[in-house]
Amino acid sequence: MRSGLPKVLQPLAGRPLLEHGIAVAESLQPNRICVVYGHGAEQVLEHFQGRDLEWALQEPQLGTGHAVQQAMPSLQADDVVVIMYGDVPLVRATTIENLAKAAATGPAILTVFETDPTGYGRIVRDPAGAVSAIVEEKDADDDQRRINEVNTGLLACPVKLLGPWLDALKSDNAQGEYYLTDIVASAVADGVSVAAVTADSSTEVMGINDKLQLAVAEAAYRERTAADLMRAGVTIIDPARIDVRGQLSCGNDVLIDINAVFEGHVELGDNVTIGPNCVISNTRIAAGTTVNANCVLEDAIVGENCDIGPFGRLRPGAEMKQNARIGNFVEMKKTVLGVGSKANHLTYLGDAVIGDGVNVGCGTITCNYDGANKFQTVIGDNAFIGSGVELVAPVNIGEGATIGAGSTIGKDAPAGDLTLQRSKQITIKGWKRPEKNKK
C-alpha cells in the first residue's frame, strides 16, 4: 500500500478494511471471532482495543494454512469455522451464511467466475463436476490456467476435520508456503466431498492490494449502498455522488442531492431533504426538515420541520426543536434552539439555551469563552435579539425581552423590557483620513 498504515487499517467508506469483515462476522452472531494478525500488529491491536475479539499472532508468516493454524487453539472441536480475509471488505453476510451452512459435514469453498482469472487459484473439478483440487497459478499447468472458476480464499469447515488436514500441510510449492487450499486435496483423498458456493460477483470478493484497488472497492461500495437506499425508497439525485461512511437509515420520501457525505450513525426521518455538498455525521434529523446546500452537521439533533442553511453548521451538542431555523453562515455548538426560533444570518450560538419563538438577529454572538472556561447564555421564550449583539456569558435574557441592535450585554436583561447598551454617537468636524506618503 506504500503507507505507514497497515493494509487492514486502510480506510474504505470511513472504516478500516478489517472492520468491514468483522462487522459481517458479528452480524451472524458467531460463538467467537479470532483475528490472526502479523504485519503492523501494534497498530491493529490498538485500533480494535476493547472489542470482543480473540487474537492470534502469526510470526513468522508462512502462508494461509499456517495462519489458520495459529487460530486453532481458540476453536472447539464441534465448531464450524469460517475463514475470511481482512483485505476482502465487500463480502456480504448472506454469502458467508451460505458458506457456513454448506460446511455442515465437510469443507465448503467460495468460488467466483472471472473473465480474466490471472493470478488466482483455479478450481479443478472431476468428470462428475465435484471439486477435486485448488491449484495456485504458479503451480498450474496450461490446461488448468484456462479454467475461469477461481478460488476466493474464503472457506468453511468443521473444526474436527480441519485440524488434521492443517497438520498434514507441506510447503513444497513455488512459494515455499503452507497453502490452506491444499486441504481440498486432503478432503478428496479422505473421501470427504467438498462443497462449492459461488459468489454473486467478483467485486464482492475482491482483495485490496494497492490504492488503485482500494479506490475501485470504494466506488463499488458506494454503488452498492446507493442501490440499497434507492430500493428502500430513497430518492438520490446522482447515485455516483453519495458517500455513506457508516450507517444511514432513512424514512419515506427522503431526497438526497449530489455530493452528500454521511458519517457514523445518521437517521433521516420521513420527507427529509438533504441539499448538495452536505456533510452529516452522527446526527438525527426528524421528519419534514430541509438541510440546504453546503451544510455541516456533527453530533446534532434536529427536530421536525426545521430549516438549515445554506452554509449552516451544527457542531456537537447542537439541538434544534421543531420548526426552528438557522440560515446562512450560522453556527451552533452545545446549544438548544427552541420551537419556532430562528437565527437567519451570520451568527454564532455556543453554550446557550434558547427558548421558543426567539428571533436572533444577524451578527449576534454568544461570548461563551473567557480564555479558560466556558459559560452559558439563557434566552427566554419570545425574546427578540437585535442585529450585531454580543451576549457576554454567563447571562440571562428574560422572557419577551428585547435587546437593541449593536448592544454588548454582560448583565441579565429583564423580561418584557428593552435593554440596550451603546456608546454616545459623535461626529468630529473637519477630520481627515490619513494619506500615504507620496514617493
Please list the active-site residues: 345
Other residues' Cβ atoms within 10 Å of the Cβ of residue 136: 19
280 neighbors 297 (Cβ within 8 angstroms): yes
Other residues' Cβ atoms within 10 Å of the Cβ of residue 112: 23
Helix (H) / strand (E) element for 216: namely helix 211-231
Tell me the torsion sign for CA atoms 367, 369, 375, 376. positive
Q: Which residues is 151 bridged to in the sheet?
A: 111
**Which three-class secondary structure state does DSSP give residue 364?**
coil
Could you give the CA distance from residue 86 to residue 24 in angstroms, rounded to a whole number? 11
Other residues' Cβ atoms within 10 Å of the Cβ of residue 75: 19
* Closest by Cα among 194, 178, 206 to 21: 206
The one-character DSSP state at 413 is B
Which residues 6+ apart lie within 8 Å of 50 measured at CB? none
Between strands 418-419 and 402-403, the pairing is parallel
Could you give the CA distance from residue 148 to residue 231 in angstroms, rounded to a whole number? 32
Type of residue at 242? I
Q: Which three cell numbers stand for residue 157?
A: 469447515
Could you give the CA distance from residue 418 to residue 402 in angstroms, rounded to a whole number? 5
Instruction: Transcribe 1-69 into DSSP letters.
Output: --SSS-GGGSEETTEEHHHHHHHHHHHT--S--EEEE-TTHHHHHHHTTTSS-EEEE-SS---HHHHHH
Instruction: Transcribe 278-335 into DSSP letters.
Output: -EEES-EE-TT-EE-TT-EEES-EE-TT-EE-SS-EE-TT-EE-TT-EEEEEEEEEEE
